């Protein structure tokens, strides 16, 4: 399947960008009459036919549009403090998009070793992962935000903080799932005591991801997968 990301598609005739045109005609060797698929990142999946096989301006004719393609009945939001090694955050974004996620936020915490991120690069990775997984929805990626400010904006009743302090914590797999859930994942040195207390003060509940001590990016992906799996089981079990 040849899948292209076309976020600005609005009409039944569409011209690929010069880079995408070159890729489709020179690299993939597609010809007039060949069919390709398009996604706009907003939920629409298109089938289109090549009308003009020009390597600089490849013109397409949309022949079918499937709205709400793969739309889910739940919403997964993971907020994570980026690791010092950005490659590990890029890995998380890629895998989370493949598994299924609606929103990713990046937290600036007391113990954060990384103070900034390249959101444009992460968005490109997310687009690539969306195409790889044949999804029509591109997750929302939010730039760095200070932890105290971020937790003031979330719905505390459906937000959980995964920390390593020796407190009473519920296994994430045992929480009562809502349709929209946010999981907070701390930096490599964990959330500070002050941050945990701030979260508790907002009504955010503590969870654990299990007995293993996980790397930040692994914990974030485990949280994402766990919520996805719980919703899938919920949909098939009586």
- Which among 225, 149, 215, 161 is positioned nearest to 193, based on CA atoms? 161
**pLDDT, tens digit, 9 for 90 and up, residues 5-56:** 999 999 999 999 999 999 999 999 999 999 999 999 999 999 999 999 999 9
Which position has the token pair 């790889």?
132
**pLDDT, tens digit, 9 for 90 and up, residues 83-126:** 999 999 999 999 999 999 999 999 999 999 999 999 999 999 99
**pLDDT, tens digit, 9 for 90 and up, residues 129-139:** 999 999 999 99
User: Would strands 45-52 and 59-66 be described as parallel, antiparallel, or unpaired?
Assistant: antiparallel
Q: Which residue has the higher pLDDT, 176 or 155?
A: 155
**91 CA to centre of own chain:** 11
pLDDT for res 235: 75
**CA angle 135-138-144, nearest 5°?**
145
C-alpha 123/C-alpha 116 separation (Å) is 15
In CATH terms, is domain 75-236 a member of 3.40.1280.10?
yes
C-alpha 11/C-alpha 220 separation (Å) is 38
**pLDDT, tens digit, 9 for 90 and up, residues 164-175:** 998 899 999 999
Biggest distance spanned by C-alpha atoms of the chain: 64
Which position has the token pair 């990626």?
141
Task: Quickly name the fold that domain 3-66 has.
Answer: Ribosomal Protein L25; Chain P (2.40.240)
**Alpha carbon separation from 87 to 127, 145, 199, 224, 225 (Å, rounded):** 16, 20, 28, 19, 20
C-alpha 62/C-alpha 140 separation (Å) is 26
Q: Kindly give the residue spans of alpha helices, DSSP state H, lying in the chain.
A: 18-22, 86-99, 119-132, 147-151, 193-202, 216-236
C-alpha 108/C-alpha 49 separation (Å) is 46
Neighbouring residues of 207: CB distance < 8 A, sequence distance ≥ 6:
160, 161, 162, 169, 170, 171, 172, 175, 183
Residue 234 pLDDT > 90: no
* Residue ranges covered by each domain of the chain: 3-66, 75-236
Q: What percent of the chain has pLDDT over 90?
A: 92
pLDDT band at 238 (very low <50, low <70, confident <90, very high): low
Query: Which phi and psi (to 5°) does residue 195 adopt?
Result: -65, -40
Which pTM does this prediction carry?
0.93
């Amino acid at each position: 399947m040849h899948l292209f990301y076309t976020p600005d598609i609005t009409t039944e005739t569409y011209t690929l960008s010069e880079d995408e045109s070159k890729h489709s005609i020179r690299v993939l060797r597609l010809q007039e009459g060949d069919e390709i698929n398009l996604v706009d990142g907003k939920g629409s999946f298109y089938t289109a036919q090549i009308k003009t096989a020009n390597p600089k301006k490849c013109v397409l004719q949309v022949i079918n549009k499937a709205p709400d393609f793969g739309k889910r009945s739940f919403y997964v939001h993971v907020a994570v403090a980026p690791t010092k090694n950005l490659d590990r955050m890029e890995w998380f974004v890629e895998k989370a998009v493949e598994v299924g996620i609606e929103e990713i936020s990046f937290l600036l915490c007391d113990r954060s070793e990384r103070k900034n991120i390249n959101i444009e690069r992460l968005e490109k990775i997310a687009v690539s992962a969306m195409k790889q997984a044949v999804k029509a929805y591109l997750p929302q990626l939010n730039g760095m935000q200070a932890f105290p400010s971020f937790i003031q904006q979330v719905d505390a009743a459906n937000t959980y903080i995964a920390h390593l302090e020796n407190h009473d914590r519920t296994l994430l797999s045992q929480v009562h799932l809502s349709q929209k859930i946010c999981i907070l994942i701390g930096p490599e040195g964990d959330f500070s005591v002050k941050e945990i207390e701030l979260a508790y003060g907002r009504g955010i509940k503590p969870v654990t991801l299990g007995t293993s001590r996980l790397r930040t990016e692994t914990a974030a992906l485990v949280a994402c997968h766990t919520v996805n799996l719980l919703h899938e089981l919920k949909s098939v079990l009586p």
